[in-house]
């Protein structure tokens, strides 16, 4: 048997179970498997039957044992033992029983220590990977709080989120935002990728769902299911539109999200670094929904151009002074409205619409005034008639020529 040290070993077991979540049974089993593997490697024999390792937790000793069957006459010394020899080990043994014989080699302590170290290191890594993987798989799609560690050479932000560091890629950051190491930050767990080391956690500060999480935290009616978030469209750092609906006629969905004196929406805007938020009242009527989505612009009319499973398209007319507001800077307002509603929205001002209608009327009148071209159909009869007319005209020309020639002849004779 090899002495490892009972006190130290028990402390290691307790620490692994407390901090890493690795049970003592798993560690002991792993150590014993490592001892057997090291023993086979030491003897340079891969196929050795009935070999096991045992750890005495009280004494802290570990050894390699080989099982042999008790027989009358030994024919296989590697796997059999005589009854007399077995009695020296255990007086109660009988024929057919199995006896465990210690086969721990001398000078095996160093090999055993190396094997134990490798196993413990491997188990700790596996345990850490599994703990991180399981914990953050459960947190996927939720908000967590972390501390910014650094910004790497690729402009990725490294955020410590507890048991591991998460990565915030550039595309998941808010444009223009300065991420200072040491600052606390609330991020959205976007994905968890399993790797050979610790799982890689991808977080976002610009994802649209982060807005949903903030509203669920700040608006009790949403958490209770009274108010429902139907859709969110966001351009991080600039503007967000969120469509809400109340399942209770007595509860105003927009008012609940704004809160008393705007307290709830102000808190969310502060978390999003003063990003503009439009709270839109959802409607099953597409016309009403589109009008609400284009807020704060006023709408004169909405004409549904196409509404089927392949295309949702609408023409929206707004007052002349509302056109730029409806479209938004660089088309942002109409673009967010399109993402929010799922409708393709074409916006025109009243004067643009009137001009287009007048142009259509002029084009129609011009087409009405044009003479209709006669339909000429070529048939065999018309071809024959044309041939007859041509032949008659030719004959007439010949007759006139003959008359003229005759007149000339008469004058010549005279």
The pLDDT tens digits for 332-376 are: 999 999 999 999 999 999 999 888 877 776 665 555 555 554 444
d(CA 115, CA 123): 12
Say what the pTM is: 0.60
Residues of each domain in the chain carrying CATH 2.40.50.140: 139-204
Count CB atoms within 10 A of the CB of residue 332: 14
Per DSSP, the three-state class of 204 is strand
CB 133 within 8 A of CB 194: yes
CB 238 within 8 A of CB 332: yes
What architecture (CATH level 2) is domain 139-204?
A: Beta Barrel (2.40)
- Every domain of the chain with CATH number 3.30.300.20 lies at 208-282, 297-366
Cβ proximity of 290 and 302 under 8 Å: yes
- Higher-confidence position of 346 and 30: 346
Q: Who wins on pLDDT, 313 or 407?
A: 313
pLDDT tens-place string over residues 160-169: 988 788 999 9
Q: Strands 61-71 and 80-82, how do they pair?
A: parallel
**CATH classification of 208-282, choosing from 3.30.565.10, 3.30.300.20, 1.20.1260.10, 3.40.640.10?**
3.30.300.20
Q: Helix crossing, 332-341 with 286-293: angle to 10°?
A: 150
The CATH code belonging to domain 2-132 is 3.30.1480.10
Give the long-range contacts of residues 257-265, CB within 8 A, separation 24 or more.
257/215, 257/219, 257/222, 257/227, 259/218, 259/219, 264/218, 264/219
Instruction: Provide CATH 3.30.1480.10 ranges for the chain.
Output: 2-132
pLDDT band at 383; cut points 50, 70, 90: low
d(CA 36, CA 54): 10
Q: What is the pLDDT of residues 256-268, one digit of tens each?
A: 999 999 999 999 9
Whether the pLDDT of residue 109 is over 90: the answer is no
Tell me how far CA of residue 280 lies from CA of 116, 230, 250, in angstroms.
Answer: 63, 10, 18
Q: Which CATH superfamily is domain 297-366 in?
A: K homology (KH) domain (3.30.300.20)
């Amino acid at each position: 048997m090899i002495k490892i040290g009972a006190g130290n070993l028990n402390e290691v077991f307790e620490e692994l179970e407390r901090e890493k979540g690795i049970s003592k049974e798993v560690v002991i089993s792993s150590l014993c498997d490592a001892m057997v593997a090291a023993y086979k490697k030491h003897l340079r024999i891969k196929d050795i039957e009935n070999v096991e390792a045992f750890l005495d937790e009280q004494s802290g000793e570990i050894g390699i044992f080989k099982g042999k069957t008790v027989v009358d006459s030994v024919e296989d010394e590697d796997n059999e033992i005589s009854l007399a020899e077995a009695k020296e080990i255990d007086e109660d043994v009988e024929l057919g029983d199995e006896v465990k014989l210690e086969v721990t080699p001398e000078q095996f302590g160093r090999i055993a220590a190396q094997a134990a170290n490798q196993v413990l290191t491997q188990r700790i890594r596996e345990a850490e990977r599994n703990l991180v993987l399981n914990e953050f798989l459960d947190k996927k799609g939720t908000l967590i709080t972390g501390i910014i560690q650094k910004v790497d050479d690729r402009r990725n932000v490294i955020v410590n989120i507890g048991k591991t560091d998460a990565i915030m890629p550039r595309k998941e950051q808010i444009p223009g935002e300065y991420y200072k190491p040491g600052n606390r930050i609330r991020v959205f767990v976007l994905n968890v990728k399993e790797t050979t080391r610790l799982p890689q956690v991808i977080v976002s500060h610009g994802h649209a769902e982060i807005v949903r999480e903030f509203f669920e935290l700040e608006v009790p009616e949403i958490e209770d299911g009274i108010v429902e978030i139907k859709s969110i469209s966001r351009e991080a750092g600039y503007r967000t539109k969120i469509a809400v609906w109340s399942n209770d006629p007595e509860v105003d969905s927009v008012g609940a999200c704004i809160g008393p004196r705007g307290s709830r929406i102000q808190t969310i805007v502060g978390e999003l670094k003063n990003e503009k938020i439009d709270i839109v009242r959802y409607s099953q009527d597409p016309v009403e929904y589109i009008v609400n989505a284009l807020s704060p612009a006023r709408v004169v009319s909405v004409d549904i151009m196409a509404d089927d499973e392949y295309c949702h398209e609408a023409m929206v007319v707004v007052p002349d002074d509302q056109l730029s507001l409806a479209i938004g800077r660089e088309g942002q307002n109409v673009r967010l409205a399109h993402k929010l509603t799922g409708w393709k929205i074409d916006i025109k001002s009243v004067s643009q619409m009137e001009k287009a209608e007048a142009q259509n009327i002029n084009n129609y009148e011009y087409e009405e005034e044009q003479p209709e071209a006669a339909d000429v159909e070529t048939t065999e009869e018309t071809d024959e008639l044309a041939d007859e007319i041509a032949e008659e005209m030719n004959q007439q020309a010949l007759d006139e020529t003959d008359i003229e020639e005759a007149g000339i002849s008469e004058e010549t004779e005279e």
